[in-house]
Amino acid sequence: MSCPVCSKPTAQDWRPFCSHRCADLDLGKWMTGAYVLPANDETEEDSLPEPPITKPH
């Protein structure tokens, strides 16, 4: 079997890939293709209006 990313011989540690690099590459490809990270969530959360806390002085 060969690496699906670069077609080099597969490494035992990184099956079915040849290296950590190729495993990462393929994972990144899979993630961006099938699983879109909700990048807006954090900024949205940040801009959420906080409930005004009015303390009597």
Site for Zn ion contains 22 (CB under 5 A): yes
Please, what sign has the CA dihedral across residues 19, 20, 22, 27? positive
Q: Which is nearer to Zn ion, 20 or 31 (CB)?
A: 20
Which of 2, 6, 24, 31 contacts Zn ion by CB under 5 A? 6
Strand stretches in 10-57, DSSP E: none
Q: Which is nearer to Zn ion, 15 or 44 (CB)?
A: 15
Give least dist CB 33 to Zn ion, A: 18
Closest among 5, 2, 1 to 26, alpha carbons compared: 5
